[in-house]
Amino acid sequence: MQRILLSFSLVGFFFLLFVLLSSHTQPNADSKGLGPTDDGSLPQIVQSPDIPSYADFCGEALPMDEFDSKERLDRELISNSYRHSGTILYLKRANKYFPIMEKILAEQGVPDDLKYLSVAESGLANVKSPAGARGFWQFMKATGQEKGLIINSEVDERLHLEKSTRAACKHLKQLKAQHGTWQLAAAAYNMGGPNLRKNMARQNANDYFDLNINEETMRYLYRIVAIKEIMKNPRNYGFYIDDFHMYQPFPETYEVEVKTAVSSWAEFAEQYGISYRELKIFNPWLTDSKLTNSAKKTYYIKIPK
């Protein structure tokens, strides 16, 4: 009799254990676990972002009534909406750098939308491309020098935010004068003016939207417009960034005029009570540890107050 009772007890124990284990391995649709739901789908929601009925670049409208244009913008909205780490960094860096750029764009008399071109070019960072373009505006060496930037083994003003932004304004105004619209100016900025004009002539195209050219330039304007749309309305695309998470503007600085050689930037920095690292953060265009300055040029070095 005791053996029978023991057998029933063991059966009950194992049945209860089976029920408990089953309840933990079969989460329902409301489960916060990572396993599949009852119907086998993953517990997440991935939505396609809304496509705006109107979109423009520098006040020039995109033909959103055409399916091709609508789909091209949709592609870039999806790419940047779900490129989470990159887009979050754009938004954070913009709080730090856009005020500087916006002031210069206004002074130079160009549309404010051009700041988004720099986001598409560099992600608001002093990066170097495989082809050798550098800085926020991704100038090649020859183009940068043509626009007045000093570029040598010790100084690279493509990395100077204010000077490179003024150079970009000058370049873009020239491209606008040559091609007639800011949309075509942006395309020329990406692929080069001669290449753009050659393709337009060969295809009898009058505007950017009639062109059938390399994929990068075909996507370029739409990528800029998508970045603009997301950065102006981040919460519409799922980006919630509190103010205290934003990168803060640079501290106030004063400038030190340098007309001679500097044998050591580390020693120079020490004279002003800052580290070599701080000197390079505020003056990233100083690309060497010294300055020969054989041409006796005048440079202005930023020092944090």
Q: For the chain, how are helix, strand and coil distributed in percent, rounded to 5?
A: 55, 10, 40
Is 278 in contact with 304 (CB distance < 8 Å)?
yes
Residue 255's beta-bridge partner residues?
A: 302
Give dist(CA 186, CA 170) in Å, integer. Answer: 13
What is the average pLDDT score of the chain?
A: 90
Structure-block tokens of residue 164: 């490179």
Q: Tell me: the pLDDT tens digits for 239-298?
A: 999 999 999 999 999 999 999 999 999 999 999 999 999 999 999 999 999 999 999 999
Q: Tell me: the pLDDT tens digits for 12-47?
A: 544 454 444 444 444 443 444 455 667 766 777 888
Q: Tell me: the pLDDT tens digits for 62-96?
A: 999 999 999 999 999 999 999 999 999 999 999 99
pTM of the model: 0.85
Tokens 């423009």 correspond to what residue? 56
Give dist(CA 236, CA 247) in Å, integer. Answer: 21
For the segment(s) 56-245, the CATH number from 1.10.530.10, 1.25.40.20, 3.30.70.20, 1.10.3720.10 is 1.10.530.10
